[in-house]
């Protein structure tokens, strides 16, 4: 392996690390502030979630009582939570994009540790570039 190339890559990684470290405080604040609100297609359910997709608020329009259907309401709430969570995670991904490659971020969100390690390995000089 070419020592100069290794040194250049190490310098590049250190510069990236320094950028990450200097921006981490602001990024943490931005990530903590992520919130996504979605209203169901029928307008009867509104859900707000935080940065991890945790439900922080559920609002039910009183019109749901005009045609009570517990199964339909349950499905609507579940789907609205899923949509709000996807929206919040997209915001988190956008904030992390300058620091974490998309593939690595997605692997992390999918709990795909093998994918994270494959990506890290591929980034190293002489690493596995599958």
What would the pLDDT profile of 27-55 be if each residue is shown by its tens digit? 888 889 999 999 999 999 999 999 989 99
pLDDT at 119: 67
Looking up tokens 């929206």 gives 87
DSSP state letter for 124: S
Sign of CA dihedral 50, 36, 48, 68: negative
Note the helical H segments in the chain. 3-32, 70-96, 102-109, 113-123
Prediction pTM value: 0.67
Q: Pick the residue with more confidence: 1 or 81?
A: 81
pLDDT tens, residue by residue, 60-86: 999 999 988 999 999 999 999 999 999
Looking at the chain, the whole-number percentage of residues with pLDDT higher than 70 is 75
Domains of the chain: 24-99 (3.30.1310.10), 100-130 (no CATH)
Long-range residue pairs from 99-105, CB within 8 A, at least 24 positions apart, any chain: 99/19, 99/20, 99/23, 99/27
């Amino acid at each position: 392996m070419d020592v100069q190339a290794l040194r250049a890559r190490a310098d590049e990684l250190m510069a990236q690390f320094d950028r990450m470290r200097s921006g981490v405080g602001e990024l943490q604040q931005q990530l903590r502030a992520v919130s996504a609100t979605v209203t169901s297609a029928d307008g009867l359910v509104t859900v707000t979630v935080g940065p991890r997709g945790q439900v922080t608020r559920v609002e039910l329009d009183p019109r749901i009582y005009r045609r009570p259907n517990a199964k339909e309401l349950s499905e609507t709430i579940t789907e609205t939570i899923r949509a709000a969570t996807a929206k919040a995670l997209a915001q988190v991904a956008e904030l992390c994009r300058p620091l974490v490659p998309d593939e690595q971020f997605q692997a992390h969100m999918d709990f795909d540790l093998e994918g994270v390690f494959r990506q890290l390995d591929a980034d190293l000089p002489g690493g596995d570039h599958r």
